[in-house]
């Protein structure tokens, strides 16, 4: 088959790109390795920046988000058992919206069906060919039948373990990485959230996070050793550890229950440059990973595909490649700012055993400074709600 843009990956980045291109009259085909059911079963982050919600509304994807999402005008930070609120709305005039990535994915699947955009799922042996020519193409098999998709461009939106980034020659790619020496043990429970806004807790025993998916679905995390096993964390152990790390008045209000999902997430920062090689353009996790502390992963995927859709629209409508030539540089400027913010939040809030008592006192001092400085709080709020697209 022939299309203008072949998209590898049917997660939020790939499907949102398909919808943005469709609205500009550009044809695309999305090829995804997994089934819809598998993609929908993945539990991921759910904090949308102000700009991301505007993008979803502009793409006709905001109706259910506006009905069912939870607008948060602030976040809470705590240290040494005391906390303070960061008034996002008051400081920068913007908010974030808690709306799970699974819900965004469902809205995107519904939009694909509604608009008739082509999605091929359960595609095996996906490979990208001739990206350094003017005629790139994809190959894949489905039900043991080989298929080929010819295109003008290939968009690699298939995550950190996909085939897109590996299609770029090693000599043409520079990668930057920081592996953090801990992970998060996360629990999803059908219980009311302990706080109506997200709570980040810094504690001598390690970091903790209290968040929500809806009024009867809560998501909690605590920092744990990187080599821990999920099986070693019973529900009772998890709830006891969470209570120790959050302020006492919050712990007293915590409603616990059986976990319906439990997993350990390693933390790392990763960036691959450039985000374009020939006719292959990377977006989302295919190009970069951030620790979830700053809630930037999904939002960076949104900004990438916004820049990419604009560039492809300019190519087809105005016969100009200026935006395409600048795509990698444009996207990476925002990526690195979000990588910096996520690194800063991570280093400020987590326990680093090897850094000793001095580093721990610096963390406490940083949070104390934040609580008393309007300028520092404004900088945090500006980054948290999302830098301009």
The confidence band for 354, taking pLDDT boundaries of 50, 70 and 90, is confident
- Check pLDDT > 70 for residue 168: yes
Summarised one tens digit per residue, pLDDT across range 118-151 is 999 999 999 999 999 999 999 999 999 999 999 9
Least confident of 32-46, 219-233, 318-332: 32-46
| End-to-end CA gap in the chain | 34
Residue range 221-226: mean pLDDT, rounded = 96
pLDDT for the residue numbered 226: 92
- Check pLDDT > 70 for residue 30: yes
The domain 178-267+353-385 belongs to what CATH superfamily?
A: D-Amino Acid Oxidase, subunit A, domain 2 (3.30.9.10)
Summarised one tens digit per residue, pLDDT across range 252-279 is 999 999 999 999 999 999 999 999 999 9
Count CB atoms within 10 A of the CB of residue 113.
Answer: 10
| Domain map (residue ranges) of the chain | 5-72+97-176+270-346, 178-267+353-385
Provide the phi-psi class of 116: left if phi over 0, else alpha when psi is between -120 and 50, else beta: left
Q: For the chain, give the number of residues.
A: 389
- Counting residues of the chain whose pLDDT is more than 90, the rounded percentage is 92
Sign of the alpha-carbon torsion through 113, 116, 117, 123: positive
C-alpha dihedral (298, 386, 85, 68), degrees to nearest 10: -50
Higher pLDDT, 82 or 335: 335
Summarised one tens digit per residue, pLDDT across range 185-210 is 999 999 999 998 999 999 999 999 99
Q: Work out whether strand 96-98 and strand 47-48 pair parallel, antiparallel, or are unpaired.
A: antiparallel
Spatial separation of the C-alpha atoms in residues 323 and 119, rounded to whole Å: 26
Which of the 8 DSSP states describes residue 46? Answer: -
Residues belonging to the active site:
72, 200, 292, 296, 384
- Check pLDDT > 70 for residue 250: yes
Residues pairing with 256 in the sheet: none
Fold exhibited by the domain 5-72+97-176+270-346: FAD/NAD(P)-binding domain (3.50.50)
pTM, whole model, 2 decimals?
0.96
Residues pairing with 76 in the sheet: 85, 199
pLDDT for the residue numbered 214: 85
pLDDT for the residue numbered 42: 73
Spatial separation of the C-alpha atoms in residues 34 and 42, rounded to whole Å: 11
* Fold match flag (5-72+97-176+270-346 vs 178-267+353-385): no
C-alpha dihedral (247, 250, 252, 253), degrees to nearest 10: -170
In DSSP notation, 235-274 reads: HHHHHHHHHHHS-HHHHHH-----EEEEEEEEEEEEEEE-
């Amino acid at each position: 088959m022939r299309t203008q843009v072949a998209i590898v990956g049917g997660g939020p980045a790939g499907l949102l790109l398909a919808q943005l291109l469709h609205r500009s009259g550009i044809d695309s085909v999305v090829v995804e390795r997994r089934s819809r059911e598998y993609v929908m079963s993945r539990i991921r982050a759910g904090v949308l920046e102000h700009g991301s919600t505007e993008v979803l509304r502009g793409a006709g994807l905001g109706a259910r988000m506006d009905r069912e999402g939870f607008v948060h005008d602030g976040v809470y930070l705590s240290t040494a058992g005391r906390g303070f609120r960061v008034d996002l709305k008051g400081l920068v005039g913007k908010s974030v919206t808690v709306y799970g990535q699974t819900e965004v994915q469902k809205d995107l699947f519904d939009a694909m069906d509604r608009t008739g955009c082509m999605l091929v799922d359960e595609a095996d042996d996906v490979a990208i060919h001739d990206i350094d020519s003017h005629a790139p193409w994809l190959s894949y098999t489905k039900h043991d039948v080989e298929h080929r998709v010819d295109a003008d461009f290939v968009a690699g939106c298939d995550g950190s373990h996909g085939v897109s980034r590996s299609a770029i020659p090693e000599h043409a790619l520079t990668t930057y990485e920081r592996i953090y020496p801990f992970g998060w043990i996360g629990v999803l429970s059908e219980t009311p959230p302990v706080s109506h806004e997200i709570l980040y807790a810094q504690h001598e025993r390690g970091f903790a996070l209290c968040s929500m998916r809806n009024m009867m679905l809560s998501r909690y995390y605590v920092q744990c050793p990187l080599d821990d096993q999920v099986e070693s964390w019973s529900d009772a152990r998890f709830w006891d550890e969470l209570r120790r790390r959050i302020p006492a008045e919050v712990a007293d209000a915590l409603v616990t229950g059986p976990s319906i999902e439990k997993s350990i997430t390693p933390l790392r920062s990763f960036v691959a440059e450039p985000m374009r090689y020939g006719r292959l353009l990377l977006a989302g996790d295919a190009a970069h990973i951030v620790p979830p502390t700053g809630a930037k992963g999904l939002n960076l995927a949104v900004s990438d595909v916004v820049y990419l859709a604009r560039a492809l629209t300019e190519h087809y409508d105005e016969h100009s490649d200026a935006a395409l030539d600048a795509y990698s540089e444009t996207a990476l400027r925002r990526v690195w700012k979000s990588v910096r913010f996520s690194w800063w939040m991570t280093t400020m809030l987590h326990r680093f055993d090897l850094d000793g008592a001095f580093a721990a006192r610096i963390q406490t001092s940083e949070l104390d400074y934040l609580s008393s400085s309007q300028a520092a709080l404004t900088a945090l709020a500006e980054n948290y709600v999302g830098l301009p697209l």
